[in-house]
Amino acid sequence: MKKIAVFASGNGSNFQAILDATKSGEMNASMQLLVCDRPNAYCIERARQAGIPSFVFSAKNYESKKQYETEVIAHLKELNVEFIILAGYMRLIGPTILDAFPGKIVNIHPSFLPLFPGKDAIGQALQAGVESTGVTVHFVDEGMDTGPIIAQEKILIENGDSKESLERKVHEVEHVLYVNTLKKLFNN
């Protein structure tokens, strides 16, 4: 059973989908830790309710990215974490964590990469007027949403789709695609 940590910054709906899959036994993984960079994020409450320990920090309380990433790694190593799963974590992973977990960090991004990397991918897609966007699961490297792609699914943008309606469609796909992709990764 793979020991995983989930990094999240917000509501934690993908955190919850992954947690549910680990708790039910459908994913051969055990969630060891939530790492969160926003002390008021709802994902912290989700972790608390599930009895999952959290490491919560504010980057502004550290002199450098290396300093907080070193502290994060100490918590991960203490729990023997093998994989890091990014689920709405809104920070770029720096070389300190990348070097400690080579090829063991997975991210989900709300676009059909390489289109619309970075922040507000859904807004970027709507502004570009494209007919479809999607969801991508990929390994993390030093770039922004540039790592090797593991899985993707397209989502049609319909006439009249607002940012909110498209976000709902993306989240529905994310919760299924991410869990199914992680199951394939961990259940083999």
Positions annotated as catalytic residues are 109
Non-local CB neighbours of 139 within 8 Å, separated by 6+ positions: 103, 105, 106, 107, 147, 148, 150
* pLDDT value of position 159: 87
* pLDDT value of position 15: 96
* pLDDT value of position 187: 86
Domain at 33, CATH number: 3.40.50.170
Whole-number Å distance between alpha carbons of 81 and 90: 21
* pLDDT value of position 107: 97
User: In the chain, which residues have pLDDT < 70?
Assistant: none
* pLDDT value of position 149: 97
* pLDDT value of position 141: 95
User: Cα dihedral sign for 29, 55, 90, 63?
Assistant: negative
For 10-36, how does the pLDDT look when each residue is reduced to its tens digit (9 = 90+)? 999 999 999 999 999 999 999 999 999
* pLDDT value of position 92: 92
Number of domains in the chain: 1
* pLDDT value of position 160: 86
Its pTM stands at 0.94
Peptide bond just before 117 cis, omega within 30 deg: no
For 124-141, how does the pLDDT look when each residue is reduced to its tens digit (9 = 90+)? 999 999 999 999 999 999
Print the domain residue range for 14. 2-186
